[in-house]
Structure 1
Amino acid sequence: MSAAETGGSQVKSAVRTVELLEYFAHRPGMHSLSSVQEAVGYPKSSLYMLLRTLADLGWVETDATGARYGIGVRALLVGTSYVDGDEVVAAARPTLDRLSDDTTETIHLARLDGTDVVHLATRQSQHYLRPFARVGRRLPAHSTSLGKALLATYTDDQVRAMLPPTLAQLTEHTLTDREQLIEELHAVREQGYAVDREENTLGLRCFGVAVPYRAPARDAVSCSVPVARLTPAHEQTIRDALFDARDRLTLATRRL
């Protein structure tokens, strides 16, 4: 076998390994070999050997029967090290704490990854009724205030290149037409913040601002509040607090 052939084979194996880990990351729980094979399309024999290798290394776990597979603990360790070592997350901690105190609501710092946003840091609501939140959660950008705030830092043509004409619907309020979303992004640019009007989770409204330490922006911060608790005065408090947080984060990240 030639060096070129060996190199090609090694790259192919690496790609398959990453694709498998991403498959499990997007589908919590345990999965049979046949269901994984149907999704990824690899030959069953080579898929089995790859899964067994990943299981031996701790990247994949098996159930008691050894016939079902899921994401392993080593993936958590790598994800944690990414967040722990991220300079923006470290610089943002005091601002996120202050924003949480000022609003008493759930706060997120997130990063744009393709057409999704990924939560990097969270501050839980100080109220009993609190929305589900966790670091590492991935959500479609078009259905969140975080994502819309970040998409608004791109041009209309760039957004068209990023998103398909028809967008996934998460709730009855989700914008599913790309051109309608682009029209809303015009308003986001003018007002400086984005709003998720129960487009990702029913009963929850979110406000988000991009952090412009680079252009287009890749990070944003948001505040989520149950609609039942949202008054005009509280909404104004949230917007003012987000603008203050954006300015503080811009200063904190200016050298990154």
Structure 2
Amino acid sequence: MNSRTAGQEVETASSGGGVKSADRLMTLLEHLAQTGEATFSAISAALTMPNSSAYQLLRTAHRRGFVDFDENTRTYRLGLRLWEVAQSFSGNLDLPGTAQPLMTDLSDETGETVQLARLDGLENVYLAIAESKQPMKLVSTVGARLPAHTTGVGKVLLSGLTDEQLRTRLEGVTLQRFTRNTLHSLPDLMTEIQRIRKQGYGEDNEEYVVGCRCVAMAVRGGNGIPVAAMSVSIPTPRFNRTIARDVRLALTRTVAEVERRLGGRPAI
């Protein structure tokens, strides 16, 4: 039995900045993955963890759905939420390979550059690109990062977060302005995000670079959670509302087919 008191244990965990608690959670999940199920006493003993810490850890994991508790057998096992997270990760791994041929078809259909990106903090990172064959076109590279508030895909990805998650990420952040159209105030960005949620797609109105517009939509995994966003970028001289409508319809069909192949909603 660990000789430290509960008070000492709490102090140690706090002074470690929460790293010890995170490590213990990972160890708990790995242990349950190996054993299938275990009682409280077995978990506490196997992880050489004080009862007070094991209880708090299990209570938190159970409340978040990462661990289930069987009242009849008094045992813990891995929860459904862990499976959902794993499914999202698996879909993200397969996403570029699944999407690339469909993006190429979409680029051929629209004549414009198609991009696929995911969110990392407050940046969108490009996973795949199908480049336009036209002389005037958007040129980008896989792995490039752009501030999410300045791009169509980035704003769509931000719209997939909850308001609480958005406030946490944006707290104390200065939104850099790149063009006169960049949404550089938090109220303006939040208004735009609400609009994207309502209409189901986002646009870039020359917000990162003058001369380029785009239409973007979220790509959702089998659980309905956005795993990425796809966009069609259109040079401003070729852009009008009719073109935007036609591109949006084509993009909708492509995104739906990507989602279908990932195990999401049926294609249109």
TM-score normalized by the length of structure 1: 0.63
Q: Which of 113, 121, 128 pairs up with 1:106?
A: 113
Between the aligned partners of 1:173 and 1:231, the Cα distance in structure 2 is: 17
| 1:200 aligned residue | 208
Q: Which of 184, 187, 199 pairs up with 2:195?
A: 187
Indicate if the aligned counterparts of 2:108 and 2:132 stay in contact, CA closer than 8 A. no
Between the aligned partners of 1:168 and 1:93, the Cα distance in structure 2 is: 31
* CA RMSD across the alignment: 1.7
Indicate if the aligned counterparts of 2:115 and 2:128 stay in contact, CA closer than 8 A. yes
| 1:251 aligned residue | 260
* 1:167 maps onto 2:192 in alignment: no
Aligned positions of 1:124-135 closer than 5 A: 124-135=131-142
Indicate if the aligned counterparts of 1:144 and 1:199 stay in contact, CA closer than 8 A. yes
Indicate if the aligned counterparts of 2:156 and 2:216 stay in contact, CA closer than 8 A. yes
Range that drifts further, 117-126 or 213-222: 213-222
* 1:237 maps onto 2:246 in alignment: yes
Give the C-alpha shift of residue 190 in structure 1. Answer: 1.2
Indicate if the aligned counterparts of 2:152 and 2:203 stay in contact, CA closer than 8 A. yes
Q: CA 1:166/1:216 → structure 2, altered by over 3 Å: closer, same or farther?
A: farther
- After superposition, give the CA deviation of every residue in 1:50-107 in whole Å (9 maximum; x if it has no partner): xxxxxxxxxxxxxxxxxxxxxxxxxxxxxxxxxxx94111111221122112211011
Give the C-alpha shift of residue 232 in structure 1. Answer: 2.3
The one-letter code sitting in structure 1 at the alignment partner of 2:248 is R
Give the C-alpha shift of residue 219 in structure 1. Answer: 0.6
Give the C-alpha shift of residue 237 in structure 1. Answer: 1.1
Q: Which of 142, 145, 160 pairs up with 1:138?
A: 145
Number of residue pairs aligned between Structure 1 and Structure 2:
171
Indicate if the aligned counterparts of 1:154 and 1:216 stay in contact, CA closer than 8 A. no
The one-letter code sitting in structure 2 at the alignment partner of 1:217 is P
**Structure 1 residues without counterparts, runs of 5 or longer:** 1-84
| 2:122 aligned residue | 115
Greater Cα radius of gyration, structure 1 or 2: 2
Give the C-alpha shift of residue 131 in structure 1. Answer: 1.8
Range that drifts further, 207-216 or 196-205: 207-216
Structure 2 counterpart SS, 1:211: strand
Between the aligned partners of 2:116 and 2:211, the Cα distance in structure 1 is: 21
Give the C-alpha shift of residue 157 in structure 1. Answer: 2.1
Give the C-alpha shift of residue 130 in structure 1. Answer: 1.3
The one-letter code sitting in structure 2 at the alignment partner of 1:203 is G
TM-score normalized by the length of structure 2: 0.61
- After superposition, give the CA deviation of every residue in 1:175-210 in whole Å (9 maximum; x if it has no partner): 011121111111101111001110011110011101
The one-letter code sitting in structure 2 at the alignment partner of 1:237 is D
Aligned positions of 1:209-224 closer than 5 A: 209-213=217-221, 214=223, 216-224=225-233
Give the C-alpha shift of residue 215 in structure 1. Answer: 5.2
Structure 1 counterpart SS, 2:226: coil
